[in-house]
Amino acid sequence: GQQVMQIPQYQHVQEGEDFTTYCNSSTTLSNIQWYKQRPGGHPVFLIQLVKSGEVKKQKRLTFQFGEAKKNSSLHITATQTTDVGTYFCAGQPRYSSASKIIFGSGTRLSIRP
Amino acid sequence: DTGVSQDPRHKITKRGQNVTFRCDPISEHNRLYWYRQTLGQGPEFLTYFQNEAQLEKSRLLSDRFSAERPKGSFSTLEIQRTEQGDSAMYLCASSLAPGAGNQETQYFGPGTRLLVL
């Protein structure tokens, strides 16, 4: 079946260090979305990427969508304690008739002050 | 505040009992999704509605699970004869179907955490 894999599963960094999470799909995607879930919270939409090779920035966060539309990454520059949480990518398969999105298993980010 | 609300926020039940959860989407959204999330995993798609029509159900969804959206607004998810493996967070999300110039974005509610004893 269609799968979206995310690595690493956990990342523990010193405050101020950079952080990157990678997302890979077994199938070509129409788009990819990124969500952040704080401990005890629910997923909160961050961004959606649609175009091949697209790069979008939100302050210290940089999102990329691969040329083949099968992978994506999220990079956080100079992490802060407010960045703590689990980051999920979620892809919409290109040739699926469904509107569903498939979530990766997430990367849990923790930060040493 | 995303505007999607879910009730109850927590539910503890005994194995074999039926439970029902409610989701109120953002008012102008015509799509509504149900997901299940277990610890350490991403949300897993269960089913979705466009207006009152249920357009897809996951193949993983047991026939003990049923969802409705009778008037195209709020939705209910019922689990019959609950099992311990049903313990999870049940998330609802709503969105506007994609159209001219509109990309679909799903907004999640706070979830209902179910514990089956």
CA–CA gap between residue B48 and residue B57 (Å, rounded):
7
Give the A:B interface size as CB pairs under 8 Å: 57
> For an interface test with B, which of A42, A54, A87, A107 has the most B Cβ atoms less than 10 Å from its Cβ?
A42
pLDDT digits (tens, 9 = 90+) for B29-79: 999 999 999 998 999 999 999 999 998 888 878 899 999 999 889 999 999
- The strand ranges marked E within chain A are 4-7, 10-14, 19-25, 29-37, 44-49, 55-58, 61-65, 71-76, 85-93, 102-103, 107-112
Mark which residues 91-110 of B lie under 8 Å from A by CB. Answer: 91, 97, 103-110
Question: Of A69, A86, A100, nearest to A1 (Cα)?
Answer: A100
| pLDDT value of residue A97 | 57
Whether residue B2 has pLDDT greater than 60? no
**C-alpha pair distances (Å), A21 with each of A7, A108, B16, B34:** 6, 9, 40, 26
Of B42, B56, B91, the CB nearest to A104: B42
Sign of the dihedral through C-alpha B29, B34, B40, B41: negative
Whether residue B99 has pLDDT greater than 90? no
Phi-psi region of B46 (alpha: psi -120 to 50; beta: other; left: phi over 0): alpha
Low-confidence ranges of chain A (pLDDT < 70): 96-99
pLDDT digits (tens, 9 = 90+) for A41-57: 999 999 999 999 999 99
B110 and A42 within 8 Å at the Cβ level: the answer is yes
Phi-psi region of A83 (alpha: psi -120 to 50; beta: other; left: phi over 0): alpha
Q: What is the DSSP letter of B99?
A: B
C-beta separation of A23 from A4 below 8 A? yes
C-beta separation of B6 from B110 below 8 A? yes
Average pLDDT, chain B: 92
Whether residue B103 has pLDDT greater than 80? no
Whether residue B10 has pLDDT greater than 90? yes
Of A42, A50, A101, the CB nearest to B91: A42
Tokens 């466009």 map to which residue? B50
Angle, CA A108 vertex, CA A102 and CA B1 arms, to 5°: 70
**C-alpha pair distances (Å), B64 with each of A7, A37, B20:** 34, 29, 12
| pLDDT value of residue A98 | 59
CA–CA gap between residue B112 and residue B117 (Å, rounded):
16
| pLDDT value of residue A87 | 98
A50 contacts in chain B (CB < 8 Å): 103
Residues above pLDDT 70, as percent of chain B = 96
